[in-house]
Amino acid sequence: MSSRVFAPGLLDGRVAVLSGSGPAIERELAELGARVVACDASEDEHEVDSFVDDVLEQHRRIDVLVNCSPGEDPRLGMEGTWLMTHAVATRAMIPDSRGGKVVTVTPEAPAVRAGLENLARVLSIEWARFGVKLNAISAGGQEETAWLAAFLASPAGDYFSGAVLGARP
């Protein structure tokens, strides 16, 4: 599937942060008009905070965060996803009750996948009062994952929070 399923310009004006490696997701979001700012996943809290502050200084907002968790290092998958999610939510989405969306693409490692899915479910309840919607994608192929990430970033994704979408490998 491709962005041709979605209306052109669907994400115009939205700022999306892509944490980790996800070229298909980056392409899909950009084709729909989002300003995509990509970064490598990190387990250094100060580095993550500095990155988020730089994005906010340049773009004044972050509407969507897509975490592409690395599968090779389970600790980095959990730690890096948490640090980026926390920094974006507490610096960009929760202040002023602006809200936003966080999409986490889980790796195949069962323990990390389960942990990240649980993180999305729990935080979706905790941060609902701030308008922050969190979901996880446990998808097979890159194109399916990219399409689901674009769907969740779109206005149609407003109806999802705490969900895990996709086919498990």
User: Whole-angstrom Cα distance, residue 150 to residue 156?
Assistant: 10
Q: How confident is the model at residue 58 (pLDDT cuts 50, 70, 90)?
A: very high
pLDDT tens-place string over residues 75-119: 567 888 999 999 999 999 999 788 999 999 998 888 888 999 999
Average pLDDT, the chain: 89
In this prediction the pTM is 0.92
- Please provide the CATH number assigned to the domain covering 8-165: 3.40.50.720
Q: What is the pLDDT of residue 70?
A: 64
> So what's the pLDDT on residue 26?
94
Quote the pLDDT of residue 1: 46
Residue 3's pLDDT band (cuts 50, 70, 90): very low
Helix or strand (DSSP H, E) at 15: strand 15-19
Contact 65, 19 (CB under 8 A): yes
- With a pLDDT cut of 90, the percent of the chain lying above it is 69
pLDDT at site 109: 83
- Higher-pLDDT residue of 40 and 122 is 122
The predicted-structure confidence for 24-33, as pLDDT tens digits, reads as follows 999 999 999 9
- Separation of alpha carbons 139 and 2, rounded Å: 15
Strand order in the sheet with 15-19: 35-39, 15-19, 64-68, 100-105, 132-137, 164-165
